[in-house]
Amino acid sequence: MYTGEKVRLRAYRKEDAPKAQAYINEPEIKRLLGGAPFPLTLGDEEKFLSQQSAWNDTYSFAIETLADDYYIGGCGLNRLDWKNRVVEIGIFIGDKAYWNQGYGTDALKILLRFVFEQLNMNKVSLQVLSFNERAQRVYQRLGFIEEGRLRQERYVDGSYHDMLVMGLLREEYEAVQ
Ligand SMILES: CC(C)(COP(=O)(O)OP(=O)(O)OC[C@H]1O[C@@H](n2cnc3c(N)ncnc32)[C@H](O)[C@@H]1OP(=O)(O)O)[C@@H](O)C(=O)NCCC(=O)NCCS
């Protein structure tokens, strides 16, 4: 368990599945994540959670508020490259009432600490849809640099959208600690 100023990152529990399913099926969140436009079943979510284990190099955290131990979303590692020491991360705050209050920034600070100081990665990478300005604002604030643009990479709500590739190097992370 890793703690910040507003949230902690903890392992998922079986009982998180119904809430996780509701969060991930919420239309605006689905749109911002750019995933498949089909609702996930509870069984899908339970299967996903049951596969999360350090034994097979999958690391997903539930994000929980420090104030009232409320599960608000998740973050974790999508692709982990031990040789090149690059990892791709993802995040969502599933309860929209908690957007724009610093919870996502705090969760990502903890995740970056985990990635650099526990897993000894050299670089964190991520992809974000070009219209997801809130997420870009958060990534920029944490020091991520835009490294490229995958043109028309995702088809969302009837049109194609670019995907931005952003990265943060260990030396850049350490410079602001
Ligand atoms: C992206 C996300 C993780 C950010 O978490 P959060 O807790 O809402 O973000 P924070 O409160 O820490 O910071 C949000 C910042 O974006 C700013 N912001 C909000 N809407 C914005 C917009 N339309 N354009 C630009 N900036 C915006 C806020 O003002 C705030 O900046 P400030 O603190 O300088 O004022 C969260 O909103 C989320 O999960 N969204 C849905 C899923 C998603 O987009 N995931 C990322 C996929 S790449």
Asked whether residue 14 is assigned to any structural domain, the reply reads: yes
> Looking at the domain assignment, is residue 10 inside a domain?
yes
Distance CA 62, CA 48 (A): 13
Query: Is residue 171, in this structure, part of any structural domain at all?
Result: no
Helix H or strand E encompassing 33 = helix 27-33
* Position 174 in a domain: no
Q: What CA–CA distance (Å, rounded) separates 122 from 134?
A: 25
**Distance from Cα 60 to the centre of ligand 1, integer Å:** 20
CATH number at residue 73: 3.40.630.30
- What pLDDT digit, counting tens, does each position of 98-119 carry? 999 999 999 999 999 999 999 9
Expressed as residue numbers, the domain containing 79 is: 2-124
11-42 per-position pLDDT tens digit: 999 999 999 999 999 999 999 999 888 999 99
**Best mutation site among 138, 140, 142, 166 for ligand 1 pocket (most ligand atoms within 8 Å of CB):** 138
CA atoms of 9 and 1, how far apart (whole Å): 6
At 130-158, the pLDDT tens digits run 999 999 999 999 999 999 999 999 999 99
113 lines ligand 1 (CB under 6 A): no
Closest ligand 1 atom to the C-alpha of 94? 39
In a domain, 145, yes or no: no
In a domain, residue 168? The reply is no
Is residue 175 in a domain? no
| Tokens read off for 89 | 């991360």
Closest CA to 174 of 117, 126, 119: 117
Cα separation of 18 and 21, whole Å?
A: 5
Strand partners, 149: 164
Q: Compute the distance between CA of residue 119 and CA of residue 100 in angstroms, rounded to an integer.
A: 29
Judge whether 142 lies within some domain: no
Domains held by the chain: number:
1
How many Å lie between the centroid of ligand 1 and the Cα of residue 144? 14
